[in-house]
Each structure stands twice: as structure tokens, then as C-alpha cells.
Amino acid sequence: MSGPPIVPIPSPATSTTEAASSAPSPVRKFLTERGSSALGDHAFRWIMLLCALVIFAIVGLILWELVARSQLTISKFGLSFFFKQAWDPVSGDYGAWPFIYGTLVSSLVSLIIAVPLAVGVAVFLTEMCPKFLRGPLSFLTELLAAIPSVVYGLWAVFVLVPLLREHVNPVLMKTLGWTGFFAGPNYGIGMLAAGVILAIMILPIISSLTREVMTAVPHTQREAVLALGATRWEMIRMGVLRNARIGIVGSIILGLGRALGETMAVTMVIGNRPEIVKSLLGLGYSMSSVIANEFSEASDDLYLSALIEIGLALFIVTIIVNAIARLLVWAVTRGAPPRVA
Amino acid sequence: MKKSTFLAAALIVCTASAGFSQKINGAGATFPYPIYSKWFSEYSAAHPGVEINYQSIGSGGGIRQVTSGVVDFGASDGPMTDEQLKGSKVKIVHIPTVLGAVVPIYNLPGVSTELKFSPDVLADIYLGKISNWSDARIAKDNPGVKLPSTDIVVVHRSDGSGTTYIFTDYLSKVSNDWKNSVGRNSAVPWPKGIGGKGNENVAAMVRQMPGSIGYVELIYAMQNKIAFGYIKNAAGNWVKGSIDGVTEAAATVKQMPADYRVSITNAPGPNAYPISSFTWLLIPIPPKDAGNGKVIKDFLGWMLDHGQSETSGLYYAPLPKSVSDKVRGTISQLQ
């Protein structure tokens, strides 16, 4: 690799040290007069450290509380709780597997739908959108993020579900039914409906963050690629997306986080059936939904403990998914150093 | 000087608040919340200085909070079990307040006559043994009705609910299969069907899906004018959910135990509606706070004298006279 010869630029610091050592700069003088001191610096440092430690304390407390309060089921079922398919509050037999499955699959479906759409929106907004449209369009995407999830849920029940049942699902069953992922019966509600509503909910998060990252890519990058004779698509692919990929993956992780934890909208359309079905048109259940559904009326201790252990399972799954996502970022960026993070 | 005036002021404020404002906290069932909040606000208006704060956090939460002494009273849609009573730190007295009922709603395009359901047919639909509307057993209950050959989509509540408790309690009584394989609780392992959150979600799903059947609270069906079916009661008559039918079920229950922990589903009266239940206030003995205990006792008397007449405006069934007389006796023995 050969680059241009590096010419050392005299840094402004070295040129002013002489003046600074002989007499305090006017800025320093002003600060000293105001009472700025080493003590203040120290105090500031400790306070900031404390703020950072609070995060550890909160996470630790949550984990401790979840484990302490689910002792009954932990001692009764052990690890098998996480891999068992049972949910019987009458006879007291509990397992988290269908809920873990439902959470993961509905989130995955939502990512598959939302990511291409969100990146597409971001590309359009930053690279090819006429000026008069840019303002309203980005305003609308951000508006989507501000809608409460119960409103999404109601909309899904009254608009999305009938639409899926009458128009989308029959087509899917006809064309892709052979895969087994789109087999009947067609209720309208189910895993696919949950995935679609989640996709709509995480779309604004992913697209607005992606847009921020893409605007941060220097214009020189684009111009350089265009100067080499690239088409517009090649310019976006090589000049923009390649540079912004870490930021894009980061925004996807944030979207995924929301999808994993979303409760109200999902519980209104997923069908709330603790079952593992291959077909996406089938019914499912998610971890946050079962907690929201059954916590308030759970009166016996084992039942309550099982619900809290579902919370623990959600906590663990979120950590694992985040770890995998970080690994993914590391794997993607191992080759070239990131320009925009 | 300054300090002493402040102290004096604080003292006055303290005594004033103790003398004129009494705060009572309760928590529990969501089903009777509309009538409870009406009662509590009217009672407070009639008794200045008394403030009753009720949080509808669900029956399970209500039982937990009252047995651990967090609140002055609890409320539940299902009676506490013997185990729960044994585990409680304080003695709990159940006071029935109003009655609720559950009705079967369905969506069957092309059928305009109101459908009738025998108890065993209803249980087998929810068990998945009857899976088509043209089944011979449904046809037998509904002579002359042309039933389409549509698959039955079963809808049930997904959230833990007193409604589910009443419904599954009834099915356990009329079907041994149900009792042995599913059982009764505020949430059960449903053999089949879709879970909807709350009455409104169940109703929305049934409205949308042709061939579906669900169950909702009577008040919900009446307020929202949702059509619902007849049930054959223990006396062999076809009855439709109504406030009078529910009150009759409470009046004709075979034996009313002294602690009122009784299920009135499948009651024997000729017009009794079979899927009905009391809802209870849970009063700790001794009270968490003696002063508050007196107010609660007074409130319970007021509830019987004035409160009961307001129930039907909100589509709740009032207690029958036989029960309210008995409750009056129980209240007079409270500390």
C-alpha cells in the first residue's frame, strides 16, 4: 500500500506552549476566577462514575429480583422449565418454550419485513428524495414511532387482521402453501399478523436511525465513487451503505429490542395459544404477552413464580440475542475499519 | 418562635387530617369496578372526610394484597380457596356484593334465529369434540334451524379473568370430561381455540370471524347489544342471560354457606340462569386499622340499603333479598 507522503503539520498546541508556560492564558485565568478547581474536576469524575454504575446496579437488581421471586418454579422444574411445552395453571405444570419460540419467531418475521423497507425509506430520504417531500416524509415516519402500541393493536384487530384473512393469507396459502410455512386454517390472527404489526412498529426506529447514519457519510465519499463512473445504485451501495453498515446494524438491534419486548399490540393479534406450529398462519404466544395477560389474576404462588420466571427467560433471551447481534457486527466489520459508526 | 409556630401548625394539620379525612384503600377484581367506583364516590359524597380508594388490579392481586395486610379490603370474582385462607395472615370474611353472568356469543352468517346450547354441547365445543356447526348434537338442540357446514372457531379469554373462572366452573359442573381434562380457574389450559384479551377483544374476534363462538360477561353483551344464545338450565328450561335470571340463580342456590364461598353455576331454579356468580369483597378480621374497619362496616350497610338499587343501571344483578338479609347479619357481627 502506498499513499501520499505524510507531511507533518505543526500542531497549534506546540506553537503556543511557550506563551502558555510564561503566563496563564486568559481562558485559564477566567476559569480560575470562577472557582474552577481540581476539586470540582474530581467531584465531577466521581459523579459521572456513579451514574455509570447505576446502570450495573439496575441490571443486577432486576436479575436478582427475577431469580429470587421465581424460586418456586426454579427449584421445581429446574432448567427444563425453559425447554418444556406446558402451561397448566390448574394442575400447576409450567414451561416457557412455546413463549420463547413465539417471541423469537414473531420478532424474526418483523425484521424480515421491516429491515428492507426501513433501509429503502432511508435511502430514498437521503439520496433521491425531492426536497419538498423530504420534510413531510421524515415527519410521518417519526410520527409512526409516537403512536401508542395499544392503538396499533386496535388497528391491527380491526383493519390488518381482516385484510390478512380475506386477501393476503389466501394468496400466500395458494402460492407458498407447499413450504408448510403458510398452511391453514386461516384465522387472520396468528404469528404472521403479529410479525406484520411489529414490523410496522419498528420500521420508524430503524429507518430514522439509518437515515441519521447515512446523512453522516461524508459527501466526498459519494462524489469519489461517482467520479469513478459509478451509477447511482453503485454509488449508494459502495459509497453510502458500505460506510454506514455498522450504524445500520445498530439500528436493527434497537428495532429488534423493541420487537422482543412489545406486549399490547402482539397480544391482541397473536392468538395467545401456547403452542408451537410451523405455519406462520398458526396461533402463538409471546413471553411479554403471557405476563401481561395472566399476572393480575394469578393468585397461587407457583403460578406467580412461573410468570416471573417467564420474565427471567425474556431477560436471558434479550441478552443472548443482543450478544449474537454484537457478534454479527464484529464479523461484518472485521475486514475494513468503519468510517461511520 | 418561628420553630414553635411551625410545630403548632403541623400539629393542627395532623389532627385535622386525622379527624376529618379518613383514607381507606382497597384493591382487587376488575369486573365489579364500575359499580364499586360509583358506590365509593357516592358514599364519600354522603360522608365528607371519608375517601375510599379502589384499585382494580385483578382478583389475584386483591387476594394477595389483603392477605398480606397491604390494603384495608380486597375484592375477588372467585372465592378464596381453603389453601389461600389458611396461608393468610389475617382472617378473611367474604361479603357478596353483586352478581355477574357469562353468555355465549357466536357469529354464524345465514342463521337468524337465536341458537340454543345444551350444557354438554357447549362443553364439547370448547373441548374440540364438536368441531362443525352442522353437528347432529347442535342440530338436535335447534330443531328447524338450517345450520351451515362451517368449522367452529373457538374464542376464549387470554387474560386471567373472573369471567373465565365462572365459565370453566360451569363447564366443570356439567361435563366430567371438562372437569378431568381442563378444570376451573381464572386461566386454564384450553384444549382448543384463540385467546382474546378482555371482553372487547373476544367480542371483536367473534364479530369478525364467521363460524366463531365466544363467551363474554352479560353486562358487556347487553351494553354493546351483542346477540347471544340460550342455555338449558338445571331445571331443563331454555334461558337467556338476564339480570333477573342471575338474581334468581342466587336465590335458589341449594345451601348458602355461612362464609358465602359458594358457586351458583347450574342453580336449580326454573328460571335461573346457569352461568352466573357472586363477586365478593374480602374484609380482614381484625381490620388493618380499627377506625377504617368501622367505616368499612358502615359502608357495607350502606351498600345493602342504597347501593343495591343502583346496580341494574350499570347492568349488574342485585343480591336477592334472602342473601342480602343474611349478609346484613354477617355485617352486624363485624368488629
Query: Per-residue DSSP letters for A177-200?
Result: GGGSTT-S---S-SHHHHHHHHHH
Element (H, E) at B95: strand B91-107
- Which has more pLDDT, A101 or A17? A101
The mean pLDDT value for B5-16 works out to 47
Q: Are B324 and B250 in contact (CB under 8 A)?
A: no
- Which has more pLDDT, B71 or B6? B71
Distance from the A272 Cα atom to the nearest Cα atom in chain B, whole angstroms: 5
B197:A268 CB<8 A:
yes
Would you place residue A41 in the very low, low, confident or very high pLDDT band (cuts 50, 70, 90)?
Answer: confident
Per-residue pLDDT, B11: 45
Nearest residue of chain A to residue B61 (CA atoms):
A296
Please tell me the distance from the alpha carbon of residue B106 to that of residue B103, in angstroms, as a whole number.
10
Q: Are A204 and A142 in contact (CB under 8 A)?
A: yes
Element (H, E) at B214: strand B212-217
**Interchain CB contact of A310 with B (< 8 Å):** no
The mean pLDDT value for A191-218 works out to 93
Q: Are B213 and B194 in contact (CB under 8 A)?
A: no
pLDDT at A15 over 60: no
Q: Residue B119's Cα: distance from chain center in Å?
A: 20
Q: Residue B286's Cα: distance from chain center in Å?
A: 26
A297:B160 CB<8 A:
yes
- Kindly report, residue by residue over A283-292, the tens digit of the pLDDT: 999 999 999 9
Per-residue pLDDT, A4: 52
Distance from the A275 Cα atom to the nearest Cα atom in chain B, whole angstroms: 10
Per-residue pLDDT, B139: 94
Per-residue pLDDT, A336: 56
Amino acid identity, residue B38?
Answer: K
- Kindly report, residue by residue over A103-149, the tens digit of the pLDDT: 999 999 999 999 999 999 999 999 888 889 988 988 888 888 889 99
- Which has more pLDDT, A314 or A333? A314
Distance from the B156 Cα atom to the nearest Cα atom in chain A, whole angstroms: 10
**Interchain CB contact of A159 with B (< 8 Å):** no
Angle of helix A301-333 versus helix A97-123 axis, rounded to 10:
40
State the average pLDDT for chain B.
88
pLDDT at A58 over 60: yes
A298:B160 CB<8 A:
yes
- Kindly report, residue by residue over A217-240, the tens digit of the pLDDT: 999 989 999 999 999 999 999 889
B39 closest CA partner among B57, B22, B52, B50: B52
Per-residue pLDDT, A193: 95
B209:A157 CB<8 A:
no
Please tell me the distance from the alpha carbon of residue A324 to that of residue A332, in angstroms, as a whole number.
12
Q: Sign of torsion, CA B160 B131 B144 B140?
A: negative
Give the closest of A268, A289, A299 to B84, CB-based.
A299
Per-residue pLDDT, A1: 41
Determine which of A32-41, A204-213, B107-116, B211-220 has the lowest per-residue pLDDT on average. A32-41
Give the closest of A165, A285, A293 to B159, CB-based.
A293
The mean pLDDT value for A189-214 works out to 94
**Interchain CB contact of B118 with A (< 8 Å):** no
B202 closest CA partner among B180, B224, B173, B179: B224
Give the closest of B60, B158, B162 to A298, CB-based.
B60
Per-residue pLDDT, A297: 81
A273:B151 CB<8 A:
no
A90:B188 CB<8 A:
yes
Residue B260, sorted as left (phi over 0), alpha (psi -120 to 50) or beta, turns out to be left
Measured between beta carbons, which residues in chain B are less than 8 angstroms from residue A88? 188-189
Residue B169 sits at the vertex; the CA angle it makes with B247 and B99, to the nearest 5 degrees, is: 25
Would you place residue B83 in the very low, low, confident or very high pLDDT band (cuts 50, 70, 90)?
Answer: confident
Distance from the A299 Cα atom to the nearest Cα atom in chain B, whole angstroms: 4
Measured between beta carbons, which residues in chain A are less than 8 angstroms from residue B182? 90
**Interchain CB contact of B194 with A (< 8 Å):** yes
DSSP B74: E
Q: Residue A290's Cα: distance from chain center in Å?
A: 21
Per-residue pLDDT, B154: 96
Per-residue pLDDT, A95: 93
Q: What is the DSSP string of B133-173?
A: TT-HHHHHHSTT------B-EEEEE-S--HHHHHHHHHHHH
**Interchain CB contact of A155 with B (< 8 Å):** no
Indicate the pTM of the whole model: 0.83
Please count the residue pairs, one from chain A and one from chain B, whose beta carbons lie less than 8 angstroms apart: 96
Please tell me the distance from the alpha carbon of residue B121 to that of residue B137, in angstroms, as a whole number.
7
Measured between beta carbons, which residues in chain A are less than 8 angstroms from residue B57? 296
Please tell me the distance from the alpha carbon of residue B295 to that of residue B313, in angstroms, as a whole number.
26
pLDDT at B172 over 60: yes
Q: Which residues in chain B (164-183) have CB-CB distances under 8 A to chain A?
A: 182-183
pLDDT at B125 over 90: yes
Per-residue pLDDT, A168: 93
- Kindly report, residue by residue over B173-197, the tens digit of the pLDDT: 999 999 999 999 888 999 999 999 8
B246 closest CA partner among B232, B226, B266, B220: B266
Per-residue pLDDT, A325: 84
Q: Sign of torsion, CA A130 A133 A139 A142?
A: negative
Would you place residue A340 in the very low, low, confident or very high pLDDT band (cuts 50, 70, 90)?
Answer: very low
The mean pLDDT value for B293-316 works out to 90
Distance from the A294 Cα atom to the nearest Cα atom in chain B, whole angstroms: 5
Strands B194-196 and B73-76, bridge-based pairing:
unpaired
Distance from the A96 Cα atom to the nearest Cα atom in chain B, whole angstroms: 14
Domain annotation for chain B: domains and CATH numbers: 24-99+277-333 (3.40.190.10), 101-252 (3.40.190.10)
Q: Which residues in chain A (129-148) have CB-CB distances under 8 A to chain B?
A: none
pLDDT at A3 over 80: no
Measured between beta carbons, which residues in chain A are less than 8 angstroms from residue B190? 273
Cell numbers placing B91: 382472617
**Interchain CB contact of B58 with A (< 8 Å):** yes
Distance from the B59 Cα atom to the nearest Cα atom in chain A, whole angstroms: 5
Q: Which residues in chain B (229-258) have CB-CB distances under 8 A to chain A?
A: none
**Interchain CB contact of B197 with A (< 8 Å):** yes
Nearest residue of chain A to residue B199 (CA atoms):
A268
Per-residue pLDDT, A9: 52
Q: What is the ipTM of this complex?
A: 0.80
Which of A90, A267, A283, A299 to mutate to probe the B interface, most B CBs <10 Å?
A299
**Interchain CB contact of A282 with B (< 8 Å):** no
Nearest residue of chain B to residue A282 (CA atoms):
B194
pLDDT at B144 over 80: yes
- Which has more pLDDT, A339 or A149? A149
A299:B158 CB<8 A:
no
The mean pLDDT value for B116-144 works out to 94
The mean pLDDT value for A191-217 works out to 93
- Which has more pLDDT, A61 or A10? A61
Share of chain B above pLDDT 70, in %: 94
CA distances from A60 to A55, A73, A254 (A): 8, 21, 21
The mean pLDDT value for B117-142 works out to 95
- Kindly report, residue by residue over B222-280, the tens digit of the pLDDT: 888 888 999 999 999 999 999 999 999 998 887 788 889 999 999 998 999 999 999 99
State the average pLDDT for chain A.
87
Measured between beta carbons, which residues in chain B are less than 8 angstroms from residue A94? none
Residue A237 CB neighbour total at 10 angstroms: 14
**Interchain CB contact of A289 with B (< 8 Å):** yes
Share of chain A above pLDDT 70, in %: 91
Q: What b/e readout covers A244-269, taking b as 16+ CB neighbours within 10 angstroms?
A: bbbbbbbbbbebbbbbbebbbbbbbb
Give the phi and the psi of residue A88 in degrees, each rounded to 5. Answer: -130, 90
**Interchain CB contact of B42 with A (< 8 Å):** no
**Interchain CB contact of B34 with A (< 8 Å):** no
Please tell me the distance from the alpha carbon of residue A258 to that of residue A264, in angstroms, as a whole number.
12
- Kindly report, residue by residue over B15-62, the tens digit of the pLDDT: 444 445 789 999 998 889 989 999 999 999 999 889 999 998 888 888
The mean pLDDT value for B310-326 works out to 89
Cell numbers placing A218: 461524508
B188:A298 CB<8 A:
no
Please tell me the distance from the alpha carbon of residue A45 to that of residue A24, in angstroms, as a whole number.
24
Per-residue pLDDT, B4: 52
The mean pLDDT value for A310-336 works out to 85
Would you place residue A299 in the very low, low, confident or very high pLDDT band (cuts 50, 70, 90)?
Answer: confident
Distance from the B313 Cα atom to the nearest Cα atom in chain A, whole angstroms: 27
**Interchain CB contact of A187 with B (< 8 Å):** yes
Q: Which residues in chain A (240-269) have CB-CB distances under 8 A to chain B?
A: 267-268
pLDDT at A8 over 60: no
